[in-house]
Structure 1
Amino acid sequence: MPALKGLEGWKEIRVGSLDPDIFRYDESFQNLVPEAIDQIKSAALQGYERIRRPAGVDHPDVTLRPTSDFNFAKGNLFVEVMVADFQSDLKKYLEGTQNSVMRSAKDLAAWNTAHAELALPPADPNQTSIDRSIAFDKSSDIWQRSMERIRKVEQNFPDTLEKYDINVIIGPSDSWFSQYSAATGYQYPLCSLPLGQSQSAFLEYEDG
């Protein structure tokens, strides 16, 4: 990796930056506190600058398809795939365990129901995803259709690298940016860079 070669290696990196005003969590996932959002944006831009300064090429405001393209009428495409796969994936995992009395998703759901005070706390008293997986119709084409759409959106990532002639895309961690890497089957690795022990790494606002 070029960055491991030291400062000289950074010249091989061609960086494209995502606009933190566009690529961030929305109110469906995050409590939008203006003071916190402003500080997170400021810290992200400072991090951008530290990466972009030694890079050989810098393209600000690179665009990707919106992460909402990973959603459809029933919800998120990744969630639908995980729901469809959960029963079989859990079964394979449990087959490799020695001490667990559980052998299926149905066993897990039954245990959760029988021990609701432990497994289904008042703050989140449901196991909807497990129940949906158990009830999933294996003859349905939803898994195939979800994967086809994920791959269609995923193609935007290598297309963007080619369009801007870049080999790295940077974006704020408080976003769904990771979905693009997941969509490519991690052909394009994702890494997180800490902002460091600086004042900008800590929220200054007080909530409440």
Structure 2
Amino acid sequence: MASFNRLTTTASELQDLLRSGKLTSADALTAYLEQIDDHDSWLRAVIATPPRRLLFERAKMLDDEREQGKVRGPLHGISVLVKDTFNTPSLGVATTGGCYSLAGAIARQDAEVIRRLLNAGAIVLGKTNLSELNGWKGSDLPFGWSAVGGQCQSPYVRDGLVDDGSRLSHSSCGGSSSGSAVGVAAGFAPISIGGETDGSLNMPATRAALYTIKPTVGIVSRAGLIPVSPFCDSPGPMAKSPRDVADLLDVLVDAKMTRIPSGGYRSCLKQTFKDIKIGALDPAIWTFAPGIATPDEGATKQMIADIKAAYTTIQPLTKRFVPFLPLSTTPQVHTEDQDLPDHLTALHALHKPALEAYLRDLEASPVRTLEELIHCNRSIPEELPAAFPQQDYLEHDLTFKLYGISPHQAARDARSRAQKRIDDILYKYDVDVIIGPADSYITNFAAAAGYPLATLPVGVLAFNGRPFGLTAITRAHGEAVLVGVQSAWEVVFERSVPEALRGVEERRARGGRVG
């Protein structure tokens, strides 16, 4: 049985081992489940795994198919983690969104994303922890915390989660797709699926030194997914390499909703920036407000310096590089008319009908309405513990109304304004993408516009080991461009690995065991 390092081995590299016969899908599955058993008690990245008998039956079936010459594609026999917001009745695992009130719900069928993964030959080995209900339960709840899953932890941060009074401290793993990112970084699986409304893929992937792409809103199915709002929601992949991101996009993206490149997204991988035009945002001014993330002087200086150094490195390699674009750092997308709703207002207005449509479609559920969910939460002590009793987002949206404009019109107006701001910059400065610090409000612009974004790992903070990086945004249906940017980036910049777990994996490898 071949040895492999779970912290560094990508899905495509694992596929090479499977193809060569040096490893079986069952071997790899065993290794990943061992890693979960060894480390998830403190990382809290996985809420549930399917019955192991079913997992190994599927692994054997896929190994048998391979022996018979049937390989479904790059995901054949590859283990994958999925956020606990995707319906998975065929796996024998409930979908809770981290909420005890949904623990007894039964979905009619698998989410479309799950169906596509299974048809592609993937092994869904676990459901991942998250900021409860996609971070839409209550204010001031820590990112990565859910009542069902507990507090998800970064495998990079040396002293664990440190409460500094902000929701997004420098030790936080980010959210809401926390477990999907932590699970891949910790070697629980080579790839994962999360979901983003506004930053929920971007932030946890950045803080786990992973590559992710939030696709253009609407080109990956949201069917069977606990929603915030169809206005901004999109499932998306997380991986250690752009190639794996591209392979996942080829499985997830609906060809009826966009134009997939000839040869698929894998054909868009590049080795160079020579055909790419980039505009960059100033890391000295693109930050979060202190109320979101408490500043640390040393961390701030390092991120500014390292990001500027990264800009300097890639500038001569690009077709065009424009530093410090004059895009406003205002987090909400307004016009001068402050009476017009911003995109977050539209999200709140659309949340209740979206969530209730999901609840009504379940085959069985303890709750069918937002009001019932709120009341059920109050009846479960573990759901509203003394440390985290908030569900004010849910309570706010129960009665929230817009006046003088429908929620859908408000969303359309906010989207149009956001798209114009991004498009004007891309056109005026003749660039393909805008890049800026991921620890900033850049995701607000992409979310409001419905445009795709991608992460670019840069480095780790000296004082606690937490990764940081950049976010790239581009026009709608620009996933091919982002795959090219990520793959060119990977050639130049090395991805970091959690030091605390690296030694464990290296010792196992030297001992000849899978690991």
Q: Does 1:193 align with 2:451?
A: no
The answer to whether the Cα contact below 8 Å between 2:333 and 2:448 also exists between their aligned partners in 1 is no
**Letter of the structure 1 residue corresponding to residue 333 of structure 2:** F
Over residues 88-107 of structure 1, what are the superposed CA-to-partner deviations in whole Å (9 max), with x where a residue is unaligned? 11112113323422111011
> Which residues in structure 2 correspond to 1:152-167 (within 5 Å)?
152-167=417-432
- Determine the structure 1 residue equivalent to 2:342: 77
CA distance in 2, matches of 1:169, 1:138: 33
CA distance in 2, matches of 1:50, 1:92: 49
Q: CA deviation at 1:36?
A: 1.1
What is the distance in 2 between the residues matched to 1:52 and 1:38?
21
Whole-angstrom CA distance in 2 between matches of 1:84 and 1:45: 39
User: Which amino acid counterpart does residue 291 of structure 2 have in structure 1?
Assistant: S
Gaps of 5+ in 2: 1-264, 465-515
Identity %: 27
Q: Say if 2:382 is the partner of 1:118.
A: yes
Structure 1 residue aligned with 2:449:
184
Equivalent-residue separation in structure 1 for 2:388 and 2:342 (angstroms): 22
Map of 1:35-46 to 2, 5 A cutoff? 35-46=298-309
2:367 to 102, 109, 116: 102
Deviation, structure 1 residue 125: 1.8
Aligned counterpart, 1:198: none
The 1:147/1:67 distance shift into structure 2, 3 A limit, reads farther
> How far apart in 2 are the matches of 1:80 and 1:39?
35
Cα distance, 1:39 vs structure 2: 1.4
The number of aligned residues is 195
Residues 331, 444 of structure 2: 8 Å contact kept: no
- Structure 1 residue 178 displacement after superposition: 1.1
Query: What is the TM-score with the length of structure 1 in the denominator?
Result: 0.81
Q: For residues 26 and 3 of structure 1, do their structure 2 counterparts lie closer, same or farther at Cα, with a shift above 3 Å needed?
A: farther
Alpha-carbon distance in structure 1 between the residues aligned to 2:436 and 2:301: 15
Contact 1:18/1:169 (<8 A) preserved:
yes
Deviation sequence 1:73-127 (CA, Å, 0-9, x none): 89x9333222211111111211332342211101110011111x32223333221
- Residues 1:141 and 2:405 aligned together: yes
> Which one-letter code corresponds to 2:460 in the other structure?
F
Runs of 4+ that moved beyond 4 A? 71-74
Q: Which of the pair is proportionally richer in helix?
A: 1
Relative distance call for 1:73 and 1:156 in structure 2 (3 A) is: closer
Kept in 2, the 8 Å contact 1:13–1:167? The answer is: yes
Q: CA deviation at 1:32?
A: 0.9
Q: Is the 8 A contact 1:65 1:153 kept in 2?
A: no
1:46-82: CA deviations, max 9, x gaps?
Answer: 33334434211111111112324437989x9333222
